[in-house]
Amino acid sequence: MKKLIEKHRKLGLKVTPQRLAILKYLDGNKNHPSAEDIFREIKKEYPTVSFATVYNTLQALRDKGEINEVTIDWEKKHYDPNPKPHHHIICTECNKIGDVFKDYSEALRLPGNIAEEFKPVRNHINFYGVCRDCQKKEKRRN
């Protein structure tokens, strides 16, 4: 709590109550919330909070490298407070997102012809699959 505040002051971010609420909500959160998820949560404590505040804060945190924008869901961005690079898997049935902590970088060399056209900087793997819950539902249907 104190640490959260100090950490963000040091980053040059003013710590407003709304921001603090967002920081607390994100801290350690493994659910890959969307901006709306965050907005709804913060609204409970600060009923007048606006979407702009949520987006502003998320952008500031992203620019400071504190959070990752997750773009595996075409519908909307999700936010991941784990700034360590990693990959994601999404359930094609329910859109649940999971983390994939494994460094594949050795294997991800670009073929020569395209390496001439582009200087690669980073990469991200999107895995698509079916989560446990949806596998169960599938079975029930059959």
Where on the chain is the footprint of DNA (CB under 7 A)? 9, 13-19, 34-36, 46, 48-53, 55-57, 59-60, 75-77
From the list DNA, a second copy, none, pick the one residue 1 interacts with, judged by a Cβ distance below 5 to 8 Å according to partner type. none
Q: How far is the CB of 40 from DNA (least distance, A)?
A: 11
CA–CA gap between residue 38 and residue 42 (Å, rounded): 6
From the list DNA, a second copy, none, pick the one residue 34 interacts with, judged by a Cβ distance below 5 to 8 Å according to partner type. DNA
Residue 41 among known ligand-binding residues: no
Q: Contact between 120 and a second copy (CB under 8 A)?
A: yes
85 φ, ψ (degrees, to nearest 5): -60, 130
90 φ, ψ (degrees, to nearest 5): -125, 140
Q: How far is the CB of 24 from DNA (least distance, A)?
A: 13
According to DSSP, the residues that pair with 80 across neighbouring strands are 68
The answer to whether 132 and 98 are in contact (CB under 8 A) is no
